């Protein structure tokens, strides 16, 4: 069914009895051309672009839980293209362009809202760093505007500009940055893939990967064996465990990242805003909740919930920057499992096993990458050639030392990102 204003009117007048489930619930077949492990944002977009860009539809997505139950449904929904280093710059630029056409392409409302993103700075040194980043963004063909203090005040009058320790010096505005509805992105890609013939198989955990003579033959699952010519691993925080089924160890450590949401409020925060002197960023959802987060807890974890120190840090940073939100009540906090690489940048590559590919290492920034990653990973799996915007996301870069992408400039080491 094609969604349109006319369809809503028609369904509304006929008792809304005509809406159908949006994707099928097929039983797994014995064999596919391509099996994608993981039905998160990246697995679903990969399947969609395999079908749409490469005409490959004998494809299954195997998801151990339900579609959208992983990080794709747990993130703070920020979509931006403000990266600095070659490799990341062109990749996220491409991904943002895909976002901009996504709703029309999928015929699905993902509530992509380019409300503008402002990264604040609080010192002369930070201003220089953001000016440089802004120039890199403009060189990449994206948009960036350096705001001085008064420029920031016009957008964000509610900040504590004269905070004694961390006065606001200005901000880097990325007008095309913003947010999207995270679940809707998963659902939109799921619907698009299903309608092109891809089998989305839920409650199907992959428990083994069959390899013969260095070549992948298929997977073992809780719903039986499935043979496949090619297999893609796209399981975010679980990457290490699934790769271990193929005898691989990855340059990945899984960490916890927390987020928070308040009760619904009248509109107050129009943009995405990030603090430059502590770990805090915020936006307001269309339901009115303030959605905010900070940094990793900084220890390996699969718990999907965090500890108190980072909660306190985030709340303190929030109160330092915008005391105006101090009376809002926090409704929920939660955590997701982040697949952290040593340099904080992702991996889209072949593995040493023929026919086995991997897309992982998205750290805390993979939601904005959902369209770009799916597009580039589908290209790699279909053609065996790297897609240009993702060509630097190599699995062996840590071993060779060539092409490390350490955006934060803190060093390519596990506990630093």
Partner 1 sequence: MRLPCPLCGDRDIREFTYKGGAEYLDRPAPEADDAAWDAYLHLRENPAGATRDLWYHGGGCGAWLVVERDTVTHAVTGARLAADMAEGGA
Residue ranges in contact with ligand FAD by CB under 6 A: 37-43, 62-65, 69-72, 74-78, 205-206, 234-236, 238, 242, 257, 259, 293, 336, 362, 364-368
Burial of 417 (0-12, 13-18, 19+ CB in 10 A): buried
Say how far apart CA 281 and CA 206 lie, in whole Å.
35
CA distances in angstroms from 301 to 80, 161, 367, 414, listed in the order given: 27, 37, 20, 14
Task: Tell which one of 111, 146, 300, 324 touches partner 1 (CB under 8 A).
Answer: 300
Residue by residue, DSSP assigns 143-176 as --EEEEHHHHHHH-TTS-TT-SSS---EEEEETT
Task: Tell which one of 50, 252, 314, 317 touches partner 1 (CB under 8 A).
Answer: 252
* Least gap, CB of 408 to ligand FAD (angstroms): 15
First CA to last CA distance, the chain: 44
The verdict on 66 binding partner 1 (CB under 8 A) reads no
Task: Tell which one of 18, 208, 247, 309 touches partner 1 (CB under 8 A).
Answer: 309
Query: In degrees, to the nearest 5, what angle opens at C-alpha 194 toward C-alphas 190 and 195?
Result: 120
Q: Which does 253 bind (CB under 5 to 8 A by kind): ligand FAD, partner 1, none?
A: partner 1
209: three-class secondary structure by DSSP: strand
Say how far apart CA 91 and CA 84 lie, in whole Å.
11
Site map for partner 1, 395-414, x if CB under 8 A?
---xx-------------xx
User: Chain-centre distance of CA 254, in angstroms?
Assistant: 15
* Least gap, CB of 303 to ligand FAD (angstroms): 12
Q: Which does 417 bind (CB under 5 to 8 A by kind): partner 1, ligand FAD, none?
A: none
Task: Tell which one of 302, 331, 354, 410 touches partner 1 (CB under 8 A).
Answer: 302
The verdict on 301 binding partner 1 (CB under 8 A) reads yes
Q: Which does 236 bind (CB under 5 to 8 A by kind): partner 1, ligand FAD, none?
A: ligand FAD
Torsion (CA) 206, 207, 211, 212 in degrees, nearest 10: -120
* Least gap, CB of 378 to partner 1 (angstroms): 26
* Residue 113 vs 307, nearer CB to partner 1: 307
């Amino acid at each position: 069914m094609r969604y349109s204003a006319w369809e809503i009117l028609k369904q509304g007048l006929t008792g809304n009895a005509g809406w159908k489930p949006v994707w099928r619930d097929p039983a797994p077949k014995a064999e596919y051309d391509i099996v994608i492990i993981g039905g998160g944002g990246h697995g679903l977009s990969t399947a969609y672009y395999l079908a749409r860009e490469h005409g490959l539809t004998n494809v299954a997505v195997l998801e151990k839980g339900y579609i959208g139950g992983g990080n794709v449904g747990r993130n703070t929904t920020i979509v931006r293209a403000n990266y600095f280093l070659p490799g990341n710059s062109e990749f996220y630029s491409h991904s943002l362009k895909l976002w901009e056409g996504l709703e029309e392409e999928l015929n699905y409302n993902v509530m992509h809202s380019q409300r503008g993103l402002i990264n604040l700075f609080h010192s002369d040194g930070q201003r220089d760093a953001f000016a440089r980043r802004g120039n890199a963004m403009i060189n990449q063909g994206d948009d960036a505007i350096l705001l001085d203090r008064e420029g920031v005040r016009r957008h964000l009058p509610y900040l504590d500009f004269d905070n004694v320790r961390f006065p606001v010096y200005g901000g880097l505005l990325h007008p095309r940055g913003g947010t999207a509805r995270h679940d809707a992105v998963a659902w939109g890609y799921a619907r698009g893939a299903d309608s092109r013939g891809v089998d989305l198989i839920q409650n199907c955990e992959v428990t083994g990967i069959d390899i013969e003579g260095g070549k992948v033959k298929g997977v073992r699952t809780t719903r039986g064996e499935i043979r496949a010519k090619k297999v893609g691993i796209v399981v975010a925080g679980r990457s290490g465990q699934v790769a271990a089924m193929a005898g691989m160890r990855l340059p990945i450590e899984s960490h916890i990242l927390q987020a928070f949401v308040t009760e619904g409020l009248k509109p107050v925060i129009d943009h995405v805003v990030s603090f430059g002197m502590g770990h805090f960023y915020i936006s307001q959802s269309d339901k009115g909740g303030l959605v905010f987060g900070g940094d990793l807890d900084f220890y390996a974890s699969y718990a999907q919930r965090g500890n108190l120190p980072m909660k306190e840090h985030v709340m303190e940073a929030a109160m330092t920057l915008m005391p105006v939100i101090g009376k809002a009540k926090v409704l929920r906090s939660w955590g997701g499992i982040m697949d952290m690489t040593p340099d904080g940048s992702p991996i889209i590559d072949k593995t040493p096993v023929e026919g086995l590919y991997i897309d992982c290492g998205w750290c805390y920034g993979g939601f904005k990458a959902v369209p770009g990653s799916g597009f580039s990973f589908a290209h790699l799996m279909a053609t065996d050639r790297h897609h240009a915007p993702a060509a630097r996301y190599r699995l062996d870069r840590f071993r060779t030392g060539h092409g490390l992408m350490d955006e934060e400039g803190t060093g390519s080491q596990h506990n630093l990102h």
